[in-house]
Structure 1
Amino acid sequence: MTEVDVNRERVESLIEEYQDHYREVPVERDPIAVPAEAFDDYVASARAGYDGGAYAWVVRDAGDAAPLSDTAAVEFDDRRRVLMHYPRSGDEWGLPGGGREDEESFEEAAIREVREETGIDCEITGLWLLRRHVWESADPDDDRRTHSLHVFFDARYTGGHIEIQPGEVNGAAWFATLPERMMDANERRAEPWDPDPDGAAAGDRS
């Protein structure tokens, strides 16, 4: 008998686990139509163990920034900054992250992906979104679905400087003033973003 909902129970279990651990985390359901000719590959990947990925909103305090050289005449800026990357495809800034590997946790996956994509080290400080993807074939006669979970963390900068790897992303940068073009997950997290360390000023856009 053909399995209709691949990974559904696994994803539901993960959602319950993370809601129990982090408390009051919003869950979004995102149905995605996949071209019929490609859907078998999605099903095979899910059956092989792929169940989602992890992403991080990494914040760096001004005092944690790498020191400037003696010749750099730059006025001190005490605002916090958030790390974003520019993916190889698309034209919007996104959050570093990606699929988890083997038996690593989503937290471990986020930390690894941030380091691989940007050269930045971080530690997880919280969780702000669970996004459940439901992948469906564009073929109306194919009733199979695969399920995956994308987990979005808050994180704190702990070291390193931006150094992107060829083939990973096209660029990465720290932002206090947020860019105008951002992916939807960034937009959601940006709503309460405040770069002022004292919380006196709201975040803005360039």
Structure 2
Amino acid sequence: MADPLSLRTRRAVDARIHGLRERFGEFPVVDATRRNDPEFFEHGVDLFEAGIRGAAGARVTDDDGRLLLIRDGRNPETWALPAGGHEPGETFPETAEREVWEETGIDCEITGVWRAVRKRFVRRDDPQRRGYLLEVFFTADAAGGAVGVDQDRLDDGENVLAAEWFEEVPADAIPVIEDRTAPPVV
């Protein structure tokens, strides 16, 4: 008999956190819980079973110390770090590098882990059904490219509205951009 979903997913996420700490050293891990409708919950289960373990992005800076941020269609009034879904077979650093390039046109080199979020997803109508996914934000240095949004680079359904360099974090940016231990924006 297979281990329950909660145990399998928690072990997979904790193993990824352990591996990242072995490679990059200590970093904060924030725990968050999201209650999902049954259909969305089962979608999360399907993603895990397909080998997807969460999402990754990066806090990219250039040689002048500027920070790379995006605006996307899900929250067009707020600047955020470029990020997106992990794909089977990718490492989390590879996911972050791919997502930064797709969303901004900038190649980057991962230098460390900014923070991780261990996300527990719970089926709203059956709280005993739960699982875990991981969201990792890395620190990274810009390594080439030209900042800009190109719809041809984006995955289907992705809607990045703008990508820009900032000398200072704008007031309308999500809190995690400056505070590594801030709760996730859900």
| TM-score in terms of structure 1 length | 0.77
Matched, 1:175 2:166: yes
Q: Deviations over 1:106-135 (max 9, x none)?
A: 111111111111101111111121211111
Q: Partner of 2:90: helix, strand, or coil?
A: coil
- 2:9 counterpart (7, 10, 23): 7
The percentage of counterpart residues that share the same residue type is: 37
Q: Deviations over 1:30-75 (max 9, x none)?
A: 111112343222222222222111111110123xxxxxxxxxxxxx
**Aligned CA-pair RMSD:** 2.1
Q: Deviations over 1:160-202 (max 9, x none)?
A: 111212244111110012111122321315x9xxxxxxxxxxx
- Distance in 1, matches of 2:163 and 2:31, equals 28
5 Å-filtered alignment, 1:1-206, equals 3-5=4-6, 6-62=8-64, 80-90=65-75, 91-139=77-125, 141-166=126-151, 167-189=158-180
Could you tell me whether the CA contact under 8 Å between 1:126 and 1:153 is conserved in 2? yes
Per-residue deviation, 1:102:
2.5
What letter is aligned with 1:29? D
Structure 1: any 5+ residue segments left out of the alignment?
Answer: 63-79, 192-206
Q: Partner of 1:178: helix, strand, or coil?
A: coil
Structure 2: any 5+ residue segments left out of the alignment?
Answer: 152-157
Q: Identify which range, 122-131 or 32-41, moves more after superposition.
A: 32-41
Specify the structure having the higher radius of gyration (Cα): 1
- Distance in 2, matches of 1:93 and 1:41, equals 27
Per-residue deviation, 1:143:
1.3
